[in-house]
Amino acid sequence: MSRENVEIVQRGWDAYESGDLSGALADLSPDMVTYVSPLLPVGGTYHGPEGLLQLTLDWAEGFDELNVSAEELIEAGDQVVVRTLHRSRGAESGAPVETDVWYVFTLRAGKTVRIDVFNDRNEALEAVGLRE
């Protein structure tokens, strides 16, 4: 099942990166929860696919440009760890920003039921019971 979960998450990221919003949301459970570490600027808990969309809008708010790409997917049973690269440019400063952000997707029956977002690789791996 874990390989299938990686394929589901990859399909959603591919859709997101290509601008296909309905494709990006297709495999999300309607009652999913997204938890963002309080160490990140938009820390908190978001509910449902609409909450994930709100998180995306909140995150992008301070930037003129924001591009997020999935760089690495790690199988972890019912979970998939995704290292993403966030490239952005500050709205006021114009300064370029580039940082890794780590997502942990939890899937049940082919649907994402939870996404946890971290700014640290070790935190993300520990969340799924893995260590470096």
pLDDT tens digits for 20-29?
989 999 999 9
Quote the CA–CA distance of 132 and 125 in Å, as a whole number: 8
| Beta strand 111-118 pairing with 28-36 | parallel
Higher pLDDT, 29 or 97: 29
The answer to whether the beta carbons of residues 50 and 28 sit under 8 Å apart is no
Question: What DSSP element (H or E) covers 48?
Answer: helix 48-60
The mean pLDDT value for 42-54 works out to 94
The mean pLDDT value for 98-109 works out to 95
The mean pLDDT value for 88-112 works out to 91
- How many other CB atoms are there within 10 angstroms of residue 116's CB atom? 20
**Would you say residue 128 has pLDDT above 60?**
yes
Q: In this structure, what token pair is assigned to residue 124?
A: 């993300």
pLDDT at 132: 66
Higher pLDDT, 63 or 47: 47
- How does residue 1 score in pLDDT terms, banded at 50, 70 and 90? low
Residue 110 burial (C-beta neighbours within 10 Å; 0-12, 13-18, 19+): exposed
* Exposure string for 26-51, b = 16+ CB within 10 A, e = fewer: ebbbeebbbbbbeeeebeeebebbeb
Quote the CA–CA distance of 44 and 124 in Å, as a whole number: 16
Convert the pLDDT of each residue in 109-118 to its tens digit. 999 999 999 9
